[in-house]
Amino acid sequence: MTRGIYSSLLSQDGYANSEKDWFIELIQSNIYWYDLLVNEHKLFDTRKLIKDELLQHKKIVEENLEKRFIYFISSRTKVRFDKKKQPKTTLFTKKLKVYLLIGKNQKRISVTVPLLRKDNKPITALVDEKFITIDSSETDKISMSVHDFLVNFNIDLGIYSKVQYVGYTKNPETRPTNGAHTGLSNILHNVPNDEDDIFISFNIFKVTTKAVDTQSNIDFIISNSMTDEVGVDLEGLIIEKCFILYFDSNNQVLNKKNERMQLTNNLIKLKKGNNINSIQILYEMEAPNEYFTLSSDVVPPKIQHLFTVEEMNNEITIQNGSKMYSASYEESV
C-alpha cells in the first residue's frame, strides 16, 4: 500500500483548516539481546538470523505505508541458565523445572513451565549458560536463548527494562546493530556487563490525525501515513524526540538541549503549517510482558506509558495522560 494514497484530502479546506492533534500508538515491538549479535551460538549464526529477521521487518514496513523504526537500547539485570543444575520434569505436574542464575551474585531460582508431551514421549532439556534445547521427540527439538525462553513462556522475575537510549532508523539491520553507534558504545561502557544485559527493541508506531472542522461539524480521523501530511522522516524524527525527552536518560543528557530545540522547532512548524496542536503517545504491548515494562532514570517501571507533548511559547511540555485516549476509551465502553 502506497504511503499518501489519500493525499487529496490535504487540499480540502474542511480538513486543511481544521484544528488537529496526533495520537501515536505502538503497533509492534521486537526485542533482541545484543549479546547474540556479537557472540554466535556454536550451532547457528545468531547474528545472521537476527539481521535476516530485521530485513524482513523492513521489507514489510516499506511495502505497507512506510514508517521509521524507533529503537530503544535498554538494560536488564543479567539472567543465565544454571548449567550445573540441568532442567528436569516434575513427577506429579509433568512440567519442566528450570534453574536460573540472577544478577552479579548469581542468585539461584527455579521456574516451572508447562510443556506438552508429544506422542507420550518424555521431554528432555539441556542448558548451557545462555541457551536451552528442549527435545520432546526424535523430530521435535528447539533451541532458544535464556531471554527468549523467559519471553516466550512469559515468566515474571520482577525485572524491568531500563531505557538507556532512544533513536530512529530506516535500516534496523545496520543501525544500531552493527556496533558502529556512539550511543550503544557509551552504554556498553557505562552499564556494567557483570550486572546487566543489553537489549535493542525496534518499535513501529501508528500516527493517527484527529481533525475537527467546527464550521461543518465534521471530525476526521485518519492515519498520517495515508495522507502523508507529514513526511515519513519528519514523522519518525518527532516520535524519536518525544521519547528521548520523556525517558530523559542520563546517556543522552549531553545532547538534551539540542534534542529539545529540534522538537520545539518541528512542533512549531506543525502548528503553523498543519494546525497540529499536540502529540499524544501510548506505548503498551497488547500482551503484557516484563521485557516491555519500561523504566528510565526518571520514569518508574510501567506496562503502559501514556503522555502528551505540546509546544507553548517556544517551550516543550510533557504531561502524563491523554485526553484523546480517555475520550476514545469512554466511547468504546
Residue 305 in contact with residue 283, Cβ under 8 Å? yes
Q: Give the integer Cα–Cα distance in Å for 220 and 20.
A: 9
Query: How much is the average pLDDT of 261-284?
Result: 97
Query: How much is the average pLDDT of 113-134?
Result: 81
Residues in the chain, total: 333
Q: Cβ–Cβ contacts within 10 Å for residue 190, how many?
A: 11
Confidence of residue 331 (pLDDT cuts 50, 70, 90): very low
- The model's pTM is 0.92
Query: How much is the average pLDDT of 102-128?
Result: 84
Residue 88 in contact with residue 97, Cβ under 8 Å? yes
> Is a pLDDT exceeding 70 seen at residue 122?
no
Q: Give the integer Cα–Cα distance in Å for 305 and 328.
A: 16
CA end-to-end span of the chain:
32
- Work out the percent of the chain whose per-residue pLDDT is above 70: 93
Roughly what angle, to the nearest 10 degrees, separates helices 256-274 and 232-247?
130
The chain-wide mean pLDDT, for the chain, equals 90
pLDDT tens digits, 293-327: 999 999 999 999 999 999 999 999 999 999 877 64
Q: Where are the domains of the chain?
A: 7-78+159-332
Q: Give the integer Cα–Cα distance in Å for 240 and 234.
A: 10
Q: Record the cell numbers describing residue 318, joined without a space.
A: 510533557
Confidence of residue 69 (pLDDT cuts 50, 70, 90): very high
Query: How much is the average pLDDT of 274-285?
Result: 96
